[in-house]
Amino acid sequence: MKTLESRRITTGHHSNPWFALDRGNADEAHGAVWFGVLAWSGNWRIAAEVTDFQSTRISIGLNDWDFAWQLTPGETFTTPSSLAGYTAQGFGAASRTLHDFIRDTLLPHGHTLHKVLYNSWEATTFAVDEPSQVALAELAADMGIELFVMDDGWFHGRTTDNAGLGDWWPDTQKFPHGLAPLIARVNALGMDFGLWVEPEMVNPDSDLYRAHPDWVIHTADRPRTTGRNQMILNFARSDVQEYIIGQLDQLLTQHNIAFIKWDMNRNVSEPGWPDAPGDQRELWVRYVYGLYHVWGTLRARHPQVIWQSCSGGGGRADLGILRLADQIWTSDNTEPTTRLAIQHGFSQIFPANTMEAWVTDMGPAYLPLEFRMHVSMCGSLGIGGHLAHWGEAGRAEAARWIALYKEIRAVVQLGDMFRLRSPQEHAFSAVQYLSKDRAEGVVFAFRTYQPLPPQVRGQPPQLPPLYLHGLDPEASYTVEGFAGARAGASWMHAGLQIELPDFGSTVRRIRRL
């Protein structure tokens, strides 16, 4: 028996409540694949077993570790939904089926194109104020960015990570006139405004904790452990829920905020609820119910807002939260060559429009900006680097790629995705996107470091051909960079040859005539 689980009170970073299995002979395009997911944002468990009789069993659901739930006569308990599917067309078809289900059925704005955003964290960290943010916003607007997001550091008492969480109103020293002047300037530059929050957390150094130390998850007979100088508010409590709803509702009502990045940066310790009305072990589920209630109430009151689920990266990535959030912050690791593998794994379950992908300053300096941009253009494009350090030439180059992304983002975010070559297995990888009517597509190809055998060093390396997928075999298509039109069948079966240097990349548009 193989068991995967989370005991973190969130979905977790190490595994995901998802499975795909075959008989050992399936690949991306061929073979029988059974797959399934659990739509839940808390503790979960999957058990996979091959019995003595050579049958395979998969169970998926709530984790029963440290969990109890008392039902009195007449009461009910509803378990989270699990969803399963089957395809004879390989792992790629399994992913595309999940992608369509998520976009068509779950997401609040499933077919809305997400805007190119800029996030200020790497540039200013906690030292945010109106002048610094306006300066960045002006640079961002000149690049064609459409959404400016101010990250951590804007709220009461927040100068480092050891204070302020829980007090969700603008810091009067940093923003003596509130957020309204900054938002007005961002809007005047032609951009929407977004904000970072971490509502499930509280610092001991905060007005909230000083007033309500009983509101955190804790065990009565143990010291209270902080992680990242913070503790977790007990969202199982109705008074905690109503406080957070009131704080964020006021923030969204009083300001023109189009986007919220909802973060959750630590996991549970001392998982107690001393004054619980019943068994303390109900905490694991009632916490998630409370989270859904808070988030769902705010979404109902502010349906125009785009919400992003962030949990120290992808620690809350699941089909439960995607009923409320439109995007997932995939990982805090934004190093581009590593992101290729991360994004490949993310795509097994989630469509590209849910994958927020930033171009940052993380990674070796020898990686071209072109490569960094191409990696992030495979999802919902964002910029997170320090724009002032990019220089005019760097910002101008990024602006050109942003303009191209706007032309192709409908295909990337809403089209069918085909994993042509895996970056988890090959130094030369590629991914293709194709519109639902098969009229337009785009292929991204990447080469990381691929050492050559001694006998061919000094010669141009011969990379394997790329075979496109999903085209109409009878229709004629052109592929950017290749002369003439060919039938879809030819592009799919004869392929196309692309040459790239180490750490080179390319994007090629596909058009049906």
- Any idea which residues carry the catalytic annotation? 263, 332
Look at residues 182, 143, 126 and name the one whose alpha carbon lies nearest to residue 381. 143
With the CA atoms of 98, 332, 334 and 321 taken in that order, what torsion angle do they form, in degrees rounded to the nearest 10?
20
Contact 48, 19 (CB under 8 A): yes
Q: Give the separation between CA 462 and CA 480, rounded to whole angstroms.
A: 20
282: DSSP letter: G
Contacts made by residues 321-324, CB under 8 angstroms, sequence distance 24+: 321/11, 321/41, 321/295, 322/102, 322/106, 322/107, 322/350, 322/354, 323/39, 323/106, 323/108, 324/108, 324/292, 324/295, 324/296, 324/299
Kindly give, in sequence order, each residue whose CB lies less than 8 Å from that of residue 353, ignoring residues fewer than 6 positions away: 103, 107, 110, 113, 114, 326, 327, 379, 380, 412, 413, 414
Q: Give the separation between CA 238 and CA 242, rounded to whole angstroms.
A: 6
**Tokens encoding 251:** 């923030």
Look at residues 86, 123, 258 and name the one whose alpha carbon lies nearest to residue 187. 258
Contact 404, 476 (CB under 8 A): no
Q: Give the separation between CA 57 and CA 451, rounded to whole angstroms.
A: 43
What pairs with residue 466 in β-bridges?
Answer: 496
Q: Give the separation between CA 215 and CA 231, rounded to whole angstroms.
A: 10
